[in-house]
Amino acid sequence: MSSEKILVIGSNSFSGSHFVAEALRSGHNVWGVSRSVEPESVFLPYRWPEPTIGEPLATADNFAFRAIDLNSQLSELLELIDRVQPSVLVNFAAQGMVAESWLNPTHWYRTNVVSQVALHDALRQKPFLKKYVHVTTPEVYGSTDGGWIQETNNFAPSTPYAVSRAACDLHLLSFEKAYGFPVVFTRAANVYGPGQQLYRIIPRAMLSARTGQPMQLHGGGYSERSFIHIHDVVRATLQLALEADPGSTWHLSTREAISIRALVEQICKRCGASFSSVVEDSGERLGKDQSYLLDSSAMRESFGWSDQVSLDEGLTDTMAWVDSHLEQLKSLPWTYQHKA
């Protein structure tokens, strides 16, 4: 496999940082961009000596990072892109967190739509760009109550976050049709693994089970999700970045679903903690979707990909990360910290 120049927007994010590690493992030259400076190395797998699952990280020497805010520093980002001239650009950047999108919807639309459109309008004029991977979300479909859905499913977003992502996806489709913009979409089920933000359900439940500090379970945790380990996701994302046809959309998911409640029960059992002492049931979140079940048959059949890390193995992997950094993680915020 030849080495490519790959620029990653949102490289500080959970998925972005693991993708950087995967691209470096595969021998590519990588540039990372995020709006904040790099966080502590406990959240940056490309700074770890080796991942807990996967091949050892060969070197981070061919990685460079710049702190650039897409909302306010687009010209600086475009200057970097023109200097690097990447053949592949992978964009993980988005304002996340569904519940908070109701509180500050304009922040979500600015980051996830307006700033993205400005970026894409400039990128479509870059002849060196061969592939643009847009990492989007199953939330654009709304709740998949009818079962496992394919990539052609209609959009039915139910929150400001989901609407903002759906709007950007539709905008990119119009650019692909009008200009031949080389966009490839990925939508992954609930991604987890070592290094994830502490407010996410799996690390948060593990921290609560280890420390006895209770956590809230919205709606009793009866919504269903399909959890996929980050290592399986970034393997697929890199393969798509190099091999997928422009204009295509791909689901990345396991074929198993579990309720949030059953997942937390599993974590408590692993830690020898009482579920009732760890969990406080709370009201359902506004606009909460009951399930996101993505049919990943197309990815499996077209690229020979499969998820290789079982939920049991993945929880063991993530638990090992939590335990090995427990004192440090206990001192950090466990709730979402909003940045405008």
- The pLDDT assigned to 95 comes to 87
**What pLDDT is stored for residue 274 in this prediction?**
94
What gap in Å lies between CA 300 and CA 318, rounded to an integer? Answer: 25
Q: Are 232 and 309 in contact (CB under 8 A)?
A: yes
Domain edges within the chain: 5-197+228-257+292-310
Q: φ, ψ for residue 267 (rounded to 5)?
A: -65, -45
Q: At what angle do helices 160-179 and 115-123 cross, to 10 degrees?
A: 20
* Angle, alpha carbons 96-157-181 (nearest 5°): 75
Q: Give the pair of three-digit tokens for residue 181.
A: 């913009």
> Per-residue confidence of the chain (340 residues) as pLDDT tens digits?
579 999 999 999 999 999 999 999 999 999 999 999 999 999 999 999 765 555 444 456 789 999 999 999 999 999 999 999 999 999 999 987 777 889 999 999 999 999 999 999 999 999 999 999 999 999 999 988 888 999 999 999 999 999 999 999 999 999 999 999 999 999 998 999 999 999 999 999 999 999 999 998 888 888 889 999 999 999 999 999 999 999 999 999 999 999 999 999 999 999 999 999 899 877 666 656 677 899 999 999 999 999 999 999 999 999 999 999 999 999 998 776 656 6
Q: Can you tell me which residue has the tokens 């996410």?
A: 200
Q: Is 30 exposed, middle or buried (0-12, 13-18, 19+ CB in 10 A)?
A: buried
Domain 5-197+228-257+292-310 has CATH 3.40.50.720: yes
Cα–Cα distance between 315 and 204 in angstroms, integer? 13
Dihedrals phi, psi of 91, to nearest 5 degrees: -110, 110
Q: How far apart are CA 172 and CA 133, in angstroms?
A: 11
Other Cβ atoms less than 10 A from the Cβ of 125: the count is: 9
Burial (0-12, 13-18, 19+ Cβ within 10 Å), 43: buried
The DSSP letter of residue 230 is: H
The answer to whether 316 and 309 are in contact (CB under 8 A) is no
pLDDT at 14: 97
Q: Which residues pair with 247 in a beta bridge?
A: none
pLDDT tens string 247-273: 999 999 999 999 999 999 999 999 999
Tally helices (H) and strands (E) across the chain. 13, 14
Distance from C-alpha of 260 to C-alpha of 212, rounded to nearest angstrom: 19
Q: 111 and 72 in contact (C-beta within 8 Å)?
A: no
In the chain, the amino acid numbered 318 is T
DSSP string, 98-122: HHHHTTSHHHHHIIIIIHHHHHHHH
* Beta bridge mates, 215: 279
**Quick one: which H or E segment has residue 315?**
helix 311-324
